[in-house]
């Protein structure tokens, strides 16, 4: 079904064909069933490996406006069955593209307000216990997707609406406190720089670029790109400003914190159905990943975790452990988790956490997924002082550099 698009006209024609085909197949007057939103076309464009402009065009012209209409429909109709318009793949895509696609302020505000409204609707449905079973888990997963990106939405909302000084403050806070993954801050930072340039606020633009220089590494933001952005602010002074900021930037990926853990306790390894004693791990780097089967970002990461495990599994001084937290978070039962592991071909260590000896409580985990990296002495390695969690990208960069030595 994949197709490589070369023009917007061709995209519009394809959407029309798919929409007509959908309507012919639906033998119902139910507006929920008859609704065709073009979501499959976005997936098709991704599979076909189309250029970024194709995906952005589809999102701006079809995905975002149709999503807004869906949410209006849900608001104006009974939550049952209108909420069945929601599904995890669609909304995972919506959230990603909302945060990564440039659009005008009018569309952004309409989309942002719609998504915040939907979050309230989902909360209402969950509180009223209208749905049970798998669909209740779907609503919880969509809510989790939103909450994981809530601060990023707030940051972009201030920038789109020209509240630039607050935007700078939020960007600085996100970088310094680690409240948003670093590589997700590059686009808001660049957007803020562009807004400052338009307002002829060069010093604020440079200050924003200095944040990007200080808190990102080459793998997250190319230094060549960063240099070009400095020059774009001021072609005469930009290079000197870039060199000064680049010399000050922290070249180390992770720093040792004061927090030390002595891992202990025996937990069931669901991958092997054998008991695993954490106290047997000595003098090794340990990457610990806390996750749950109901967590959309967690399950989306599994293919990358499998790849990561392949990278380090033969190394004697590195241990990769995941902690499945369904029992602590009232998620899936243990047999369902085991089936989930088989279906996703997971072969790395998956320890079953319990309320009685909870690792979630020991590490004070409040969001999923959460990753912690311990050095050979048990000290947590941090990206920013005071923030213990890291992402998989940073862990992989750290271990690749370690293995190169």
Taking the CB of residue 50, how many other CB atoms lie within 10 A of it? Answer: 20
CATH number belonging to domain 256-404: 3.40.30.10
Do 286 and 362 contact (CB within 8 A), yes or no?
no
18-22, 47-51, 73-77, 235-239 — which is least confidently predicted? Answer: 47-51
18-22, 100-104, 177-181, 253-257 — which is least confidently predicted? Answer: 177-181
Residue 287 has, within 13 A of its CA and on its CB side, a CA count of 26
Q: Per DSSP, which regions of 233-336 are E strands?
A: 255-260, 266-269, 274-277, 285-291, 318-324
Q: What is the pLDDT of residues 135-156, one digit of tens each?
A: 888 888 888 888 888 889 999 9
Tokens of 277: 């004693």
How many angstroms separate the CA atoms of 27 and 40, rounded? 20
Statement: residue 98 has pLDDT above 80: yes
Tokens of 132: 């049970």
Confidence (pLDDT) at 19? 80
Statement: residue 185 has pLDDT above 50: yes
Question: CA angle at residue 11 from 109 to 43, to 5 degrees?
Answer: 70
Tokens of 104: 């005008």
Confidence (pLDDT) at 34? 67
Residue 322: beta bridge partners? 289, 350
Do 255 and 385 contact (CB within 8 A), yes or no?
yes
Statement: residue 173 has pLDDT above 80: yes
Percent above pLDDT 70 for the chain: 89
The domain ranges of the chain are: 8-148, 156-248, 256-404
Statement: residue 5 has pLDDT above 90: no
Q: What is the pLDDT of residues 353-374, one digit of tens each?
A: 998 888 999 898 888 899 999 9
Average pLDDT, stretch 261-280? 92
Confidence (pLDDT) at 192? 97
Q: Which residues of 225-237 are buried (b: 16+ CB within 10 A; e: fewer)?
A: ebbebbeebbeee
Confidence (pLDDT) at 96? 84
Mean pLDDT of the chain: 86
Average pLDDT, stretch 110-118? 93
Query: pLDDT: is 334 or 387 the higher one?
Result: 334
Band of pLDDT at residue 382, cut at 50, 70 and 90: confident
Confidence (pLDDT) at 135? 83
Average pLDDT, stretch 82-101? 80
Confidence (pLDDT) at 30? 66
How many angstroms separate the CA atoms of 372 and 379, rounded? 10
Q: Taking Cα atoms as reference points, which of 287, 262, 292 lies closest to residue 352?
A: 292
Q: What is the pLDDT of residues 120-133, one digit of tens each?
A: 988 888 888 878 78
Statement: residue 2 has pLDDT above 70: no
Tokens of 356: 């009685």
Q: What is the pLDDT of residues 277-307, one digit of tens each?
A: 999 998 999 999 999 999 888 988 999 999 9
How many angstroms separate the CA atoms of 244 and 149, rounded? 32
Average pLDDT, stretch 202-229? 90
Query: pLDDT: is 239 or 255 the higher one?
Result: 239
Statement: residue 37 has pLDDT above 70: no
Percent above pLDDT 90 for the chain: 41
Confidence (pLDDT) at 1? 46
Query: pLDDT: is 385 or 303 the higher one?
Result: 303
Confidence (pLDDT) at 336? 94
Relative to beta strand 285-291, strand 318-324 is: parallel
């Amino acid at each position: 079904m994949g197709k490589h698009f070369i023009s917007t006209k061709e995209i519009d024609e394809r959407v029309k064909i798919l929409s007509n085909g959908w309507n012919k197949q639906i033998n119902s007057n139910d507006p929920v069933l008859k609704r065709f939103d073009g979501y499959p076309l976005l997936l098709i464009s991704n599979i076909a490996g189309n250029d970024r402009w194709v995906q952005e065009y589809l999102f701006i012209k079809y995905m975002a406006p149709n999503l807004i209409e869906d949410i209006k429909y849900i608001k104006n109709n009974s939550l049952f069955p209108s909420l069945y318009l929601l599904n995890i793949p669609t909304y995972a895509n919506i959230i990603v593209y909302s945060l990564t696609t440039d659009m005008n302020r009018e569309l952004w505000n309409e989309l942002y307000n719609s998504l915040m409204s939907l979050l309230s609707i989902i909360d209402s449905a969950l509180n009223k216990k209208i749905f049970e079973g798998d669909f209740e888990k779907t609503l919880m997963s969509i809510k989790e997707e939103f909450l994981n990106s809530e601060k990023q939405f707030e940051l972009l909302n201030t920038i789109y609406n020209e509240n630039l000084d607050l935007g700078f403050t939020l960007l600085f806070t996100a970088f310094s406190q680690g409240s948003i993954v670093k590589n997700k801050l590059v686009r808001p930072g660049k957007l803020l720089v562009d807004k400052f340039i338009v307002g002829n606020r060069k010093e604020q633009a440079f200050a924003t670029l200095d944040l990007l220089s200080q808190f990102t590494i080459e793998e997250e933001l190319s230094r060549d790109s960063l240099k070009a952005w400095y020059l774009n602010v001021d072609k005469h002074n930009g290079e000197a400003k870039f060199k000064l900021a680049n010399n000050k930037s922290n070249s180390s990926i992770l720093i040792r914190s004061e927090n030390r853990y002595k891992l202990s306790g025996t937990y069931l390894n669901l991958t092997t159905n054998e008991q695993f004693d954490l106290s047997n791990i000595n003098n090794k780097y340990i990457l610990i990943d806390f996750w749950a089967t109901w967590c959309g970002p967690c399950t989306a990461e599994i293919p990358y975790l499998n790849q990561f495990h392949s990278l380090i599994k033969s190394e004697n001084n590195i241990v990769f452990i995941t902690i499945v937290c369904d029992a602590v978070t009232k998620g899936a039962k243990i047999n369902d988790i085991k089936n989930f592991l088989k279906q996703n071909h997971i072969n790395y260590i998956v320890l079953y956490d319990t309320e009685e000896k909870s690792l979630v409580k020991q590490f004070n985990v409040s969001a999923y997924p959460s990753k912690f990296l311990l050095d050979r002495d048990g000290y947590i390695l941090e990206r920013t002082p005071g923030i213990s969690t890291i992402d998989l990208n940073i862990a992989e960069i750290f271990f690749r550099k370690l293995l190169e030595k």
